[in-house]
Structure formats: C-alpha cells, structure tokens
Chain A
Amino acid sequence: DSGVTQTPKHLITATGQRVTLRCSPRSGDLSVYWYQQSLDQGLQFLIQYYNGEERAKGNILERFSAQQFPDLHSELNLSSLELGDSALYFCASSVLGTGELFFGEGSRLTVL
C-alpha cells in the first residue's frame, strides 16, 4: 500500500460526458502528479501540483483540468470525453527532497 488513494477505481461513461477523478496523497506529501496510461502505452505526465499551486504541465488536453485543494487532495476533471480518453489515470505523490514518487492504484476510465 503506497498510501496514495484514488477513487473511483473503475468508471464507465459515454462520449461527451464529464468525469472527476480524485486523489489523496500520502500524509505529509505536498506534491501531486497526474499521469495517463493508455493500453500498452507508457506513462504520460499530465500535470503537477505543489501545495495547491500548479507547478508543471505535460501533455494535458485543454478538455482536462485539475486542482489541488487546501487539504492537499487533488481532482482531475475530464470533459467532452472521447473514446481515446479511455485509459488508466494514475496519481502520485512525492517525498520532498528525493523526488521519489509513490503511485496510487489508478482509476480505470472506459469511454463508450
């Protein structure tokens, strides 16, 4: 158990819909990262937050947005969903200093 909690574990929705994925980082970790992993693909960095502020952006689509709340949990919002958005979405939090990432178990999104 990495200590990073993601909900929901599975989500099935239709094209054009909007979903929200939630992540609670490990206790004490201020940084939260979001990654997308499509079928048989590597992890693609989406966005990072540190203590409530956006720190870095990767290949995140304009239809996607995220935020980190004062209690440090984070949400990734995916809108106008397309079939190609079907993927595993991972959240990770990091230890200050070493940068080692601890990943959650992921949210599997299926867009039909």
Chain B
Amino acid sequence: KNQVEQSPQSLIILEGKNCTLQCNYTVSPFSNLRWYKQDTGRGPVSLTIMTFSENTKSNGRYTATLDADTKQSSLHITASQLSDSASYICVVPISGSARQLTFGSGTQLTVLP
C-alpha cells in the first residue's frame, strides 16, 4: 500500500533553534518527493521538489534531504522564525503522476519566542 508517514506529529521549538522533520514513504514506483508548508487555514505552498537523483536541496533556511534507498526524506529548518510555525507536509506522487498524490498527515511545528 502506498503510504507516507511523517514524524513527529507535532514539534515545539524556541525561535532561533534548528529542527528536523522526517518523512518515510512506501510509494512505488518513486519519481519525486515534495515538501509543502501550510499555514493554519491557508493553502499549502511548495517548499521543494526532490527527484530520485537529488540527495539535498535547499530553499533559504529550508534544506531537504532524500535517501531513495531507505525511502526517507528529512526537512531541516535552520535558525527558526516565528513565521515558520505551520504544518509541513510530505507528498509523494504515485507513478510520477500529479493526479495520484499521497499526502502525509503533516508535522505541526510551533515556534515560540
């Protein structure tokens, strides 16, 4: 069964600290993995898309890693800011098709001052 599991379910950190969110997937065949940020009550916004051949990809203070062998991805947030408080969602398409996306349940990150 195609699944995407994220951990932790929720995380609270202090402003300025770093954190790492995890995503394990069993989707097959694999083509790419996406991380989205969703502010409460808002639409998800793409942070990064990683293909099979990419190990690391950065977008500002966000760095995603991918290990296709172990089927794991992580999203590292550096020097967190209050505006980083959001749900971070890992998404993996089935067969590389956008119409068949498997969504993780997300990690709810809260950054406190």
Contact = CB atoms under 8 A, between A and B. Distances in A.
B41 A101 contact: no
Contacts of A88: 41
Interface stretch (B14-22, B60-68, B71-79, B96-104): B96-104
Nearest to B101: A45
Contacts of A108: 41
Interface residues of A, number: 26
Majority secondary structure, A binding face: strand
Given A99-B93, A100-B49, A33 B44 contact: no
Contacts of B96: 99
B45 A2 contact: yes
A85 interface: no
Interface centre among A2, A41, A43, A106 (most CB of B within 10 A): A43
B41 A94 contact: no
A101 B105 contact: no
Contacts of A48: 99
Interface of A: 2, 4, 31, 33, 41-45, 48, 55-56, 88, 90, 92, 94, 98-106, 108
